[in-house]
Amino acid sequence: MPVKPEVAKSGSREAVPEAARLEIAEARRQATGRQCGKCTMCCTILGVDEPPHLTKPPDTKCQHCAPGKGCMIYERRPRKCQNFYCQWLVDSKLDDLWYPLTARIVILPGGNADGSNTRELIFEVDPRRPDRWLQHPYFERITNYALAHPTTVRAGKHWYTLLPRADAENPEKVTIRWRSKITTIKPDKIGPGYFKTPRGDFRWVEVVPLAEFFDTWRSSASRV
């Protein structure tokens, strides 16, 4: 039976309490029947800022991680680690090609400031394979998703998003759903030209978001 979370009001929006979000996440993971197995990709790709327990920047292997074995302090790992579920664990629509150890990509859901999730996805790429998202079939799959929903790709210090052609060529007023303006669109474009759709042409571009983007991104890392 699906879990019906207790909903708390947050201004004019509905915020789902953390305990309820985690209950929903675990129910979804049980529905997929998936386990992390030997995968420890999140222990390298994602950052953890939870002093005094653990402070680790993104793209740095956690000192407590044993590749192929997992977390060596599992029973006393930080709360953010305990609460984290990657999208592959909880989303049956993602096949085993997206198993992070295979894909070399960890997928996170986007989130609102009130704690609710959006349909936005963030694809965090293994820094040892920064071009992985550009390879077949991942590039095509990420692009197809991005044509329908806001999507961000992070490969090291580089961030990418799919924009309509007009915005990619004239970025002064470009905004993204994280309620932050994109401050810069770098001149190098990613991908084989424009993607033509009935809604217009789109192109991947490298972007430099404002600080608010990173604040929301970090807070979403423990949500699903």
The per-residue pLDDT for range 22-49, each reduced to its tens digit, is 899 899 999 999 999 999 999 999 988 8
pLDDT number for residue 4: 35
Candidates 7, 8, 33, 18; CA nearest to 219 is: 18
At 97, list the tokens.
């090609």
Q: Between the CA of residue 108 and those of 7, 12, 16, 154, what are the distances in Å?
A: 22, 26, 18, 11
pLDDT number for residue 186: 81
What predicted TM-score, i.e. pTM, was given to this entire model? 0.83
pLDDT 10s digit of each residue in the chain, 224 long?
333 333 333 333 455 677 888 899 899 999 999 999 999 999 999 988 888 778 889 999 999 998 778 899 988 888 889 889 999 999 999 999 999 999 999 999 875 544 455 678 999 999 999 999 999 999 999 999 999 988 999 999 899 999 998 888 887 777 776 656 778 888 777 877 788 888 889 999 998 877 777 766 665 554 43
Rg (CA), the chain: 18
The pLDDT > 70 percentage for the chain reads 82
